[in-house]
């Protein structure tokens, strides 16, 4: 009997504490480790002390430490406890008095974080780290944000491309490529030895369930508007056509692009690619 009265009192005290002090941290859903790619590069989110901080999914929205996202885009991140404000990049000339929620400023402009459905989502603080919806801050930087449920990964900016076949569009991501264990490859083209790391295009087709039935050509479209086509036979040749994530200079593996990130298309057999084989893919179509 005494135990029952004690339990009821404990419950009432707990409810009172919640009512008085509030709850600052939402409850994250149980999940596997979420990977985050910024411009195609896998990042390790860290807090201000350099400790690794795992992303969280709450009510279907992925939250990341604001510092991890901001610094990945080369922006300084500051916290002002007096006004409960987070500043990413340039600070505004003036900051309104403290409100009831955490406010976020991107290069001096206050933003309203929203989820994929356009609903307002509030930042929160956990263990001294401010978490923001990754979609909100990514889009504030003018970057596309993509959730890859197949690989439990978030992509901000580069790192995804589409494959269209028979009226069906599949989205491929860098996580798909990494899951296929990219390997070092050496090829000889016009007496020139080339080194790179990637996966056969045919392996991507298999992983995504892309149907090649009835198609005879595969066309690649790149970010800069360049396109080229290969036959289906060449595309399915696992020693010929690759999706490349690192390109070499003929001596060792490295990067040929300016920012060191992929994925790229590499079609050794086609003349148009003789000197320009590394390009960022946006779309692949089968016809």
Structure tokens at 282: 């946006």
Cα gap 187→240, rounded to integer Å: 9
In the prediction, which pLDDT does 17 show?
Answer: 28
- Which superfamily, per CATH, for 160-286? Oxidoreductase, molybdopterin-binding domain (3.90.420.10)
In the prediction, which pLDDT does 24 show?
Answer: 46
In eight-state DSSP terms, residue 271 is G
Cα gap 140→198, rounded to integer Å: 32
Tens digits of residue pLDDT in 240-249: 788 877 665 5
Can you tell me the mean pLDDT for 268-279? 39
Spans of all domains in the chain? 27-148, 160-286
Cα gap 135→141, rounded to integer Å: 10
Residue 256: pLDDT over 60? no
Least Cα distance to 26 among 88, 78, 101 occurs for: 101
Integer CA distances (angstroms), 78 to 91, 112, 137, 244, in order:
9, 18, 15, 37
Neighbours of 148 (CB within 10 A): 20
Q: Which residues contact 264 (CB under 8 A, 6 or more apart)?
A: 198, 243, 244, 245, 247, 257, 277, 278, 279, 280, 281
Tens digits of residue pLDDT in 79-134: 888 888 888 888 888 887 777 788 888 888 888 888 878 888 888 888 888 888 88
Residue 191 banded pLDDT, cuts 50, 70, 90: low
Integer CA distances (angstroms), 207 to 65, 88, 217, 230, 237, in order:
31, 38, 19, 20, 16
Can you tell me the mean pLDDT for 187-209? 80
Residue 254: pLDDT over 70? no
DSSP helix, strand, coil percent of the chain (3-state; round to 5): 20, 40, 40
Write out the H or E segment, with its range, that includes residue 68.
Answer: helix 66-72
Q: Where are the beta strands (DSSP E) in 122-263?
A: 124-126, 129-133, 145-148, 153-156, 160-165, 168-173, 183-189, 192-200, 217-222, 227-231, 241-248, 253-254
Largest interatomic CA distance in the chain: 89
In the prediction, which pLDDT does 31 show?
Answer: 52
């Amino acid at each position: 009997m005494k135990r029952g009265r004690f339990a009821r009192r404990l419950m009432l005290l707990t409810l009172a504490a919640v009512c008085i002090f509030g709850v600052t941290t939402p409850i994250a859903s149980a999940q596997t480790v979420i990977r985050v790619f910024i411009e195609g590069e896998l990042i390790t989110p860290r807090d201000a002390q350099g400790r690794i901080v795992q992303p969280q999914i709450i009510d279907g929205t992925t939250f990341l430490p604001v510092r991890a996202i901001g610094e990945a885009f080369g922006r300084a991140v500051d916290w002002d406890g007096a006004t409960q404000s987070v500043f990413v990049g340039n600070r505004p000339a003036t900051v309104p008095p403290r409100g009831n929620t955490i406010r976020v400023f991107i290069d001096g402009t206050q933003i309203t974080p929203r989820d994929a459905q356009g609903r307002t989502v509030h930042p929160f603080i956990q263990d001294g780290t401010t978490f923001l919806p990754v979609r909100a801050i990514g889009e504030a930087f003018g970057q596309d944000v993509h959730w890859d449920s197949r690989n439990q990964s978030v992509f901000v900016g580069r790192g995804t491309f589409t494959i269209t076949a028979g009226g069906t569009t599949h989205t491929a991501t860098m996580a798909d490529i990494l899951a296929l264990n990219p390997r070092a490859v050496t090829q000889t083209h016009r007496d020139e030895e080339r080194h790179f790391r990637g996966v056969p295009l045919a392996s991507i087709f298999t992983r995504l369930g892309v149907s090649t039935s009835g198609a005879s050509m595969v066309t690649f479209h790149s970010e800069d508007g360049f396109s080229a086509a290969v036959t289906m036979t060449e595309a399915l040749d696992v020693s010929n056509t690759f999706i490349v994530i690192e390109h070499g200079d003929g001596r060792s593996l490295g990067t040929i692009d300016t920012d060191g990130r992929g994925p790229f298309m590499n079609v050794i057999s086609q003349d148009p690619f003789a000197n320009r084989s590394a390009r960022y893919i946006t779309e692949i179509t089968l016809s």
